[in-house]
Structure 1
Amino acid sequence: MIKRQHIVSDFFGEAEAMRTAFDARVKDSYKQTVNWQYFCAPQMYTYLRTVPQQVIPEPLFGRFMQHMKQWCIDNLGLIPTGAPNLHLMVNGCTLGLHSDFHNGTWGFVYSLTRWQNRKFSGGETLLMRDGVPSYKKHHVHGEVLYELVPAHFNQLLLFDDRIVHGTQTIEGSMDPIEGRIALVGHLRATSPLVTGPLDAAAARKVILECQRRLGEQAREHKDVQGTITFRLAVAASGAVESVAVLTDNLVTALAGYDASAEVTAVKAMVQQAVAKLVFPSSSGKSTVVAAVLVPLPDFRPIEIVVPHAGRPARLQESFKARLKDSEALGFVVDLEGNLESNTFVVREPIAGTIRIEANRIVAAFDPPMWVPSQRDQFEAGLSENLEFLAKYGG
């Protein structure tokens, strides 16, 4: 089970190929065509970033993301929130202290930095420790207050997105080859994931009802916050054979990750509830991966309706064309869905459908296990994309 933070060394088998591709793209200043964004918020952030495909070939980056996604599902019960940014930090670059709970449940930093041969100082990820130092102590400084995590090559660093964190200021070369290079992104829950013959839609309904019941029971533990994910082994009969907790960042503001009777009670409540679930019977054993956010979020499904004056067939073709850039849309659509009824089945970041009707586009999604700001951000982006489609796609 992963809590608070975690490091995976030698994460990806093709890390050298990724780094070689980066070097080839930036080593010749006269030929470099990378579209870098100089991201500078004075006294807070200074660094360069771009989309990874600017420097890493699409097939190679696709293999990395597939590996990243599967690893996260298997070990965390979470998925990436789209593609990460590629960060480049050279002399003077820094990330000031901040937290990211609006962006995800976990943050990650995957390093392509030649750390052992670096020609700069700084560049470590700084993670603040839990707790407040006692004023009675005579002298408190440095790593009593925080932890510094070096950005070793091919290392994946995961940490609770609520932890106050930053990156130590780089002092050294301005050469991008000698800089701190990393893929930076976030992870969060998706709709329950089913592997095996168990009907996925039916399984999601069972999990949703369980989450609703837990929402009522958890109200008395209002100080507990965080996400717990679990993997259920489900028999052909529909009974739960075992429960494995994958990640657990349930905390209280007062205790942080220290022992807490309230946190213990909520964990026990969740595990007991999911262990007693009964799914529909199927032809064999299945696995279900799901998450519970505490406090439990809004259980209303996401529903967005956008009117249009175009032709449904043209809108469908336009939408299919835009699906080639699924990261820009913010979701992944199953093209094997029922296209004859103009319905697209959405798999990520949450399960749902997008249906193109005679005079309107209707989107319907499962209620997500996200904090309100994450839900609001997704709804706003989805509305913007559908309004664009309605206006220009038909």
Structure 2
Amino acid sequence: MIQRQHVVNDFFAEAEAMRSAYDLKVKDPYRQTVSWQYFCAPQMYTYLRTVPQQVIPEPLFARFMQHMKQWCIEHVGLLPMGVPNLHLMVNGCTLGLHSDFQNGTLGYVYSLTRWQTRKFAGGETLLLRDGIPSYKKHHVQGESLYELVPAQFNQLLLFDDRIVHGTQTIEGSMDPREGRIAFVGHLRPTSPVVKGALDATAARRVILDLQRDLAGQLKDREDCKDVQGTVTFRLEVGASGQVESVTVLIDHLVTPAAGYAASAPVDEVRRIVQQGIAALKFPDGAGKSTVTAAVLVPLPDLRPIEIAVPHAGRAAMLREVLRAQLKELEAQGFQIEQAGDEFLMREPLAGTIRIEATRIVAAFDPPMWVPSQREHFQANLRDSLGMLARAGG
């Protein structure tokens, strides 16, 4: 079970090929065609970034993302949100202390840095430790307050996105081949992932009923009101629909006061969640299945996301425009298919987009995301559907 942070060494078999492609792309300053964004927020962030496809061949990067996705579903029950940024940090670059809870459940850093032969100082990921330092001690400094994680080559670092973190200032070369090179992104819960005989729609209804039941149990529990975090789990479900085993993949339940330290309120919420999971009953199936799902505490808005936008265009033409737009999402790892007049999305959220005679209708399962993440998704979806409606006007 993964909690606060986790390191995976030798993560991707083709890491050397990706690094070689990067070196080839940037080695000649007179022929370099990479479009770097110089991201600078004074006293906070200074680094260069681009999309990985600028320097990594598309088929190779697609294999990395497929491996990333499969590993994340299997080990943490989460999915990458779109495509990561490729960060380049050279002399003077830094990431000041910040928290990313609005971006994801876990942050990740995948390193292509030649750490063992680096020609710079700094570059470690700094993760602030839990708790309040004791100023009764004579002196508190350094790694009593934080931990430093080196950006080893072909290493995947995962950490709780709520942790205050940053990257130590780079002191060294300005050569893009001698800097800190890493993919940086975020993971979030997906709609329940079902493999095997179970009908996916029916299984999602069972999980949603669980989430609603947990929301009711925890709503008026004064002793549990400060507990927050995500639990992801994988269920082995027999042909009868009974849960045969439960594997907790991540458990990020904490309180602001105790952090990851032992806490009676966290223990009580954990007991309620695990008891609810173990008692689940799915419909009968033709064989065994696995279900991977998540519970966010406190439980978020459990109403489906439903957006309708009027249009005055031809429905057939709008479907063609939408099909082209969705191909961009598919390139980022989203799973989408067309079924008649509907477009079905399975990941990261299960839902549909349907173009009717006079309106465009989108409906998605409620996500296990914090409110700001849901609001951001809804706003972007509404804007995208509005642009689509205007394209057919």
Q: Place the TM-score, normalised by the shorter chain, in its bin.
A: over 0.9
Distance 1:119 1:332 in 2: 38
Residues 255-284 of structure 1: CA deviation (Å, up to 9, x unaligned): 100001111111111111111111000100
Q: Distance in 2 between matches of 1:381 and 1:111?
A: 30
Partner amino acid, structure 1, of 2:2:
I
Tell me the CA shift for residue 332 of structure 1. Answer: 2.6
Provide the C-alpha distance between the structure 2 equivalents of 1:334 and 1:144, rounded to a whole number of angstroms: 47
Alpha-carbon distance in structure 1 between the residues aligned to 2:10 and 2:335 = 31
Show structure 2 runs of 5+ residues with no match.
none
**Residue number in structure 2 paired with 1:367:** 366
Counterpart CA distance in 1 for 2:313 and 2:333 is: 23
Match of 1:379 in 2: 378
2:228 maps to 225
The aligned runs of 1:160-171 (5 Å cut-off) are 160-171=160-171
% identical aligned pairs: 73
Partner residue, 2:211: 211
CA contact (8 A) 1:83 1:327 kept: no
**C-alpha displacement of 1:334:** 2.3
What does residue range 31-110 of structure 1 map to in structure 2 within 5 Å? 31-110=31-110
| 8 Å contact kept, 2:310–2:389 | yes
| TM-score, normalised with respect to structure 2 | 0.98
Q: Is the 8 A contact 1:331 1:346 kept in 2?
A: no
Query: 1:332 and 1:117 mapped to 2: Cα distance?
Result: 37
Counterpart of 1:350 in structure 2 is: 349
Gaps of 5+ in 1: none
Please give the root-mean-square deviation of Cα atoms over the aligned residues, in Å: 1.1
User: CA–CA distance in 2 between the matches of 1:259 and 1:111?
Assistant: 32
Which residue does 2:284 correspond to in 1?
281
* SS of corresponding position for 2:246: strand
Q: Which secondary structure does the structure 1 equivalent of 2:306 belong to?
A: strand
Task: Report how many aligned residue pairs link the two structures.
Answer: 390
* CA–CA distance in structure 2, aligned partners of residues 196 and 369 of structure 1: 23
- Pairwise CA distance, 1:150: 0.3
Which residue of 2 is the match for residue 239 of structure 1? 242
**Structure 2 residue matching 1:378: 3-state secondary structure:** helix
Residue 331 (structure 1) shift: 7.9
Query: Deviation digits for residues 118-160 of structure 1, max 9, x if unmatched?
Result: 0000000000000111121110000000001000000000000
Could you list the per-position Cα deviations for residues 28-81 of structure 1 after superposition, in whole angstroms to 9, with x for gaps in the alignment?
A: 100111111000000000000001101111111111001001100000010011
Q: Is the CA contact 2:202–2:283 (under 8 Å) kept in the aligned structure 1?
A: yes
Misfit runs of 4+, over 6 Å:
none
Structure 1 distance, partners of 2:143, 2:350, is 43
Structure 1 residue aligned with 2:334: 332
Match of 1:306 among 309, 328, 334: 309
Deviations 1:161-207 (A, max 9, x none): 00000000000000000000000000010111100010000000010
Amino acid at match of 1:355: R
- Equivalent residues of 2:227, 2:255 under 8 A apart: yes
Q: CA deviation at 1:389?
A: 1.1
Q: Judging changes above 3 Å, is the alpha-carbon distance between structure 1 residues 108 and 250 closer, same or farther for their aligned structure 2 residues?
A: same
1:82–1:327 CA contact under 8 A, matched in 2:
no
CA distance in 2, matches of 1:98, 1:60: 32
Contact 1:86/1:181, CA 8 A, preserved across alignment: yes
Q: Partner letter of residue 160 of structure 1?
A: D
1:384 is aligned with what amino acid? D
Contact 2:311/2:392 (<8 A) preserved: no
Q: Deviations over 1:279-310 (max 9, x none)?
A: 00010000000000000000110011111111
d(CA) in 2 for partners of 1:360 and 1:91? 53
Q: CA deviation at 1:387?
A: 1.1
Q: 1:153 corresponds to which residue?
A: 153
Corresponding position of 2:257: 254
- In structure 1, the partner of 2:118 is 118
- Specify whether residues 270 and 147 from structure 1 end up closer, same or farther in structure 2 by C-alpha distance, changes over 3 A only: same
